[in-house]
Structure 1
């Protein structure tokens, strides 16, 4: 008997993959509201998996994918502020993990690696949408924090 496959977080990851796949099918069919609902379910699962999964990169990845898919669906529904909020939330959650002395160094490093991806998406969003978005200050703050850290010689990823 495989102990790992019967563990609750393995079942949760399987469920997350199923919900994401269904959301992606809805997205491809331009059923934006259905896709959004699936991605919201996936995010709820991902938030439980983020620090529970024994491989930190997988835990961080499910969170980032969930938020980014939600942001994409929100954009299709012309919900710019919601899209920005999901991009910022993903970045902020990773920041908290990276700075939390209560999590393992492997989890902190995984969070830092995935922040590179969230920052890239924030920058891409800012280039395309920030003028029509009330969340522009929040998006700009994350980008400027990165630029300041880079100028000071610190790496956020």
Structure 2
């Protein structure tokens, strides 16, 4: 976790200084660390948060680079990863529950992006699929049948 934090801090400094290509490289390193350690981190909330932060920071840097298509790919990728995590019965319940909690944030980020920058094919497909997956994901983690919300 400490290595991931230092990498994110280095990337954030580059981003703040306008060194966007360097920031992207550090964010990519942080994302690689978060993905490798995703199922191994002792704290499930930290594991999921590191993955979400890494993806969202990459989306931000690509927006600053005027690359909205790349940005939406990162937003869609993390949202889809969380939905898959929630539905994966072989993963620890703590990790699945943390993914469920964070998926509401990734969903909101995706909606905010679309409201500002428009829809893209992947976001459109993911959001249409999200409607059915979200209700299934809730019932999968909670063990309760899903109902009207």
Give me the TM-score of the superposition, normalised by structure 1: 0.81
1:98 aligned to 2:82? Answer: no
**CA drift at 1:105:** 1.3
- Give the superposition deviation at 1:51: 1.2
Paired position in structure 1 for 2:25: 37
Alpha-carbon RMSD: 1.8
Name stretches of at least 5 consecutive residues in structure 2 with no aligned partner. 136-145
1:126–1:140 CA contact under 8 A, matched in 2: no
Q: Report if aligned partners of 1:119, 1:142 keep a CA contact under 8 Å in 2.
A: no
1:140 aligns with 2:124: yes
Matches within 5 A, 1:8-27: 13-27=1-15
The reply to whether residue 75 of structure 1 matches residue 67 of structure 2 is: no
Residue 49 (structure 1) aligns with = 37
The DSSP-based 3-state class of the residue aligned with 2:118 is helix
Segments of 5+ residues of structure 1 without an aligned counterpart are 1-12
| Post-superposition offset of 1:145 | 3.9
Tell me the distance in 2 between the aligned counterparts of 1:94 and 1:154.
22
DSSP 3-state at the match of 1:30:
coil
